[in-house]
Structure 1
């Protein structure tokens, strides 16, 4: 958490006094669609995947690992039930904090407010970059950029989740990983 911006020991203690250590099994849904989660989770160990259920399929929107935070933006910012699902991909240890308490801390502690701003700034940049890549890069280039940006996720996440995140089919991703040619030399755009 301190890697986003400097936090004083006093601020860290204030946050530590308001979080609870939780453990979740693999495939557990921390946040469910159309439900109020009421908590944010600081991931200490393990990995999660966020996705939107769309017409019977799951469209992966992000991954979070050690040092990340997951919560329902719909709930925190708009007071609405989550449209997104967050599930654990591994056993997860996380520190939970009620969203109301996190909001109060952001309103009363400038260091945590800045930490939250920087976290959201970084997430916006990731989303913006992902959107641009989906619109401008070939499937191969998207995968290479993902692999460079998130090497740990490439090793730990199911390939179908990575393909969904990249907006390509699993078979296309498998061919890219195997280094097979793309047919007539054209870029694979799926």
Structure 2
């Protein structure tokens, strides 16, 4: 719980009563490796704060190929924010890459916090803006890099992730085949 509260406090002030209110609205959950937190076609009704583990956000392209958009690791909020806000079915899957534990804030809990804590919407807005900026900063540089450069950039930005996720997911994220990734890894050792 401390990690969640500390994360929120980076984006705004909450007094002890407000912190207790947030704590009362949060539900602890766990999910096993390879299980889905969210599936495409469903309207998301929860936001999670990942405490332990790695999740990936993926979708299927028009050829039926599974594409990994990005990975999310500990101490971050995670949601398909567009589908959540607009209450429309998601086009993405959120899957546990490892066993994960997380806190859940339901849509009703978020609404209650918004109506009770004056600063809440501002805090959430800042967190959302940071999340979107982080996503753009991860993806944009990759567009002009070849597979080897993308892999080396990934290792530089996420040194503790590479050994925790399956090669097939990493290759999909990097936009290369698994055999190309294996060759790149062999050549840089």
Q: Same fold (TM over 0.5)?
A: yes
Question: Which residue does 1:79 correspond to in 2?
Answer: 87
SS in 2 for 1:27: coil
Q: Distance in 2 between matches of 1:75 and 1:115?
A: 20
Matched, 1:120 2:156: no
Question: Could you report, residue by residue, the CA deviation over 1:42-76 in whole angstroms, capped at 9, with x for unpaired residues?
Answer: 11111111101223221111211221222222332
- Unmatched runs of 5 consecutive residues or more in structure 2: none
Q: Report the CA distance between 1:132 and its aligned residue.
A: 2.2
Q: Distance in 1 between matches of 2:93 and 2:13?
A: 30
Question: Which residue does 1:36 correspond to in 2?
Answer: 43
Question: Which residue does 1:14 correspond to in 2?
Answer: 21
Question: Could you report, residue by residue, the CA deviation over 1:79-120 in whole angstroms, capped at 9, with x for unpaired residues?
Answer: 101111001111111111112322443465354334323322
| CA RMSD in angstroms, aligned pairs only | 2.2
Q: Report the CA distance between 1:128 and its aligned residue.
A: 2.0
Work out which of the residue numbers 159, 167, 172 in structure 1 matches 2:167. 159
Q: Report the CA distance between 1:32 and its aligned residue.
A: 0.6
Contact 2:43 2:84 in 1 (8 A): no
SS in 2 for 1:153: coil
Contact 1:50 1:87 in 2 (8 A): yes
Q: Report the CA distance between 1:138 and its aligned residue.
A: 2.0
TM-score, normalised with respect to structure 2: 0.84
- Unmatched runs of 5 consecutive residues or more in structure 1: 182-190
Contact 1:41 1:95 in 2 (8 A): yes
Q: Distance in 2 between matches of 1:154 and 1:111?
A: 37
Q: Report the CA distance between 1:40 and its aligned residue.
A: 1.4
TM-score, normalised with respect to structure 1: 0.83
Size of the aligned set, in residue pairs, is 181
Matched, 1:5 2:11: yes
SS in 1 for 2:25: coil
Change in 2 beyond 3 A, CA 1:180/1:120:
same
Q: Distance in 2 between matches of 1:80 and 1:177?
A: 40
Question: Which residue does 2:178 correspond to in 1?
Answer: 170
